Amino acid sequence: MVSAPLSLQTSRIRPAIQALQGDIVEWRRHLHQYPELGFKEEKTASFIAEKLTAWGIDHETGIATTGIVALIEGSGPGPTLAIRADIDALPVQEQNEVPYRSKHDGKMHACGHDGHTAIALATARYLSQHNDFPGRVKIIFQPAEEGPGGAKPMVEAGVLKNPDVDAIIGLHLWNNLPLGTVGVRSGPLMAAVELFDCIIQGKGGHGAMPHQTVDSILVASQIVTALQTIVARNVDPIDSAVVTVGSLHAGSTHNVIANKATFTGTTRYFDRKYEGVIRDRIEAIIKGCCDMQGATYSLNYWSLYPPTVNNPAMADLVRSVAEHVLETPAGVVPECQTMGGEDMSFFLQEVPGCYFFLGSANLNKGLSSPHHHPRFDFDETALGMGVEIFARCVEQFALK
Q: Quote the crossing angle between the two packed helices 113-129 and 21-33, to the nearest 10°.
A: 140
CA angle 299, 270, 393 (to 5 degrees): 130
Catalytic residue among 41, 94, 114, 145: 145
Number of alpha carbons in the 13 Å side-chain half-sphere of residue 262: 5
- Determine whether 105 is an active site residue: no
Residue 255: phi, psi to the nearest 5?
Answer: -115, 25
Residue type at 122 in one-letter notation: A
Identify whether 283 is a catalytic site residue: no
Size of the chain, expressed as the number of residues it contains = 400
Does the bond joining 148 to the residue before it have cis omega, within 30 degrees of 0? yes
Classify residue 186 as left (phi > 0), alpha (psi -120 to 50) or beta.
Answer: beta
Cβ pair 315, 185 in contact under 8 A: yes
Q: Which amino acid, 193?
A: V
Q: Which of 86, 88, 166, 194 is catalytic?
A: 88
Backbone angles phi, psi at 214, to 5 degrees: -120, 105
Instruction: List, by residue number, the catalytic residues.
Output: 88, 145
